[in-house]
Amino acid sequence: MEFLQPATWEEALAMKAAHPEAVPIAGGTDVMVEINLDHRRPETVMDLTPIRELTEWGTDDGVLRIGAGVSYTRLIDELGDRLPGLAIASRTVGSPQIRNRGTVGGNLGTASPAGDAHPPLLAADAEVELASTSGTRRVPVREFFTGPKRHTMRQDELIAAFLVEPAPGPQQFSKVGTRNAMVIAVCSFALALDPARRRVGTGIGSAGPTPLRAVDAEAFIAGELDWDGRRPPSDATLSRFGELVAAAAKPIDDVRGTAAYRRHALAVMSRRCLAWAWATPPHLWGGGARSAPEGL
């Protein structure tokens, strides 16, 4: 096994071009498990943690550009007000130790259907910025996943960042696990409301070969919601939304749960998430700054 440690982003891209087989490692929360448990012996590993650019975020033309190496802890602390859906999801990732190390870039690179960041990124219609020595391109997250642990990246590319609009409205995330912390999703659901455009975004995790959107549910609920009067949706509307979300899933039976339960749970979570999002007090609808309790 060879260990590469580029000092700069340019060097990293050059190394990746020269060693397309190199497995990038940042927080190590996926790669190291595979190495430690002898599931994988990559020929080459490339450490991305020294590269400063990857740990930076900023706003460009109203869109957040967040480096692939920003940890979940920092997402919660620094961007929780602008990306509440992703922040709720980040809080469910592993433990403080994992959140200090784990990154959205790593989550995308692994492309597990159970990745906790994926549903909120899908719901918010985020983009992934891929880079190589031959240039940079942006891929919508909704087109990024191609199969279980597979994505549209080329061998010579690295994930530079993801881009997402600060929440234009309420966002929610919910995840079922069989213990009250530190658990991989049995299934998960993310919701993002865009009141100005009257759009609803969704993301489903761990209930299909890839993270999924519930496209029919999005269209249905966007048409049903009383965007102007803000009256709460009827129980029948919520139920129908839940049914459409469940129908969009393509779950299987596995060690963490059954397909039937996953569909059932998605219907419940999506109903609840919608009700919570819709009930968000008006001053929090814009995704603007909010006071957060001190602490952790």
Interactions with another protein, residue window 111-130 (CB under 8 A): none
Out of 149, 166, 264, 286, which residue is the one contacting another protein (CB under 8 A)?
264
Residue 31 interacting with another protein (CB under 8 A): yes
| Other beta carbons less than 10 A from residue 75's beta carbon | 25
Binding of another protein by 202 (CB under 8 A): no
Assess 177 for contact with another protein (CB under 8 A).
yes
Long-range contact set of residues 38-46: C-beta below 8 Å, sequence gap at least 24: 41/1, 42/1, 43/1, 43/2, 44/1, 44/2, 44/3, 44/4, 44/19, 45/1, 45/2, 45/3, 45/4, 46/4, 46/5, 46/6, 46/12, 46/15, 46/16, 46/19, 46/22
**Site for another protein contains 149 (CB under 8 A):** no
Taking CB under 8 A as the binding criterion, the range among 52-60, 134-142, 206-214, 279-287 that sits at the site for another protein is 279-287
Running DSSP on this structure, what letter comes out for residue 265?
A: H
Asked if 180 interacts with another protein (CB under 8 A), we say: yes
Q: Which of 68, 265, 270, 274 binds another protein (CB under 8 A)?
A: 265
Within a 10 A sphere around the Cβ of 293, how many other Cβ atoms?
A: 5
What one-letter code names the amino acid at 61? D
- One residue of 6, 13, 16, 27 binding another protein per CB under 8 A: 27
Q: Does 256 bind another protein (CB under 8 A)?
A: yes
Residue 45 interacting with another protein (CB under 8 A): yes
To the nearest whole angstrom, how small is the minimum distance from the Cβ of residue 134 to another protein? 28
* Helical segments of the chain, H only: 9-18, 31-36, 72-79, 84-91, 96-101, 104-110, 118-123, 141-144, 215-224, 235-248, 259-278
User: For another protein, which stretch binds (CB under 8 A), given 9-17, 57-65, 199-207, 280-288?
Assistant: 280-288
Q: Binders of another protein among 80-99, rule CB under 8 A? A: 80-81, 84-85, 87-88, 90-92, 94-98
- Do the strands 127-132 and 135-140 form a parallel or antiparallel pair, or are they unpaired? antiparallel
Nearer to another protein, 65 or 91 (CB): 91
**Binding piece for another protein, criterion CB under 8 A, among 9-17, 124-132, 204-212, 278-286:** 278-286
Retrieve residue 103's tokens.
């990154």
- Decide: is 19 part of the binding site for another protein (CB under 8 A): no
Output the six-digit token pair for 105: 């870039």
The Cα–Cα gap between 247 and 220 comes to 13
220: closest CA among 247, 196, 256, 250?
247
- Rounded to 5 degrees, φ, ψ at 38 are 60, 35
Contact at 8 Å (CB) between 65 and 58?
A: yes
CB of 161 to another protein, least distance (A): 21
Report d(CA 205, CA 185) in Å as an integer. Answer: 7
| 236 part of the interface to another protein, by CB under 8 A | no
For residues 46 to 65, the per-residue mask of contacts with another protein, x marking binding by CB under 8 A and - elsewhere, is: -x-x----------------
Q: Determine if 170 is a binding residue for another protein (CB under 8 A).
A: yes
Is there binding between residue 293 and another protein (CB under 8 A)?
yes
Q: How far is the CB of 152 from another protein (least distance, A)?
A: 26
Stretch that binds another protein, among 13-21, 180-188, 218-226, 228-236 (CB under 8 A): 180-188
- For the CB of residue 151, give the shortest distance to another protein in the complex, in Å: 22
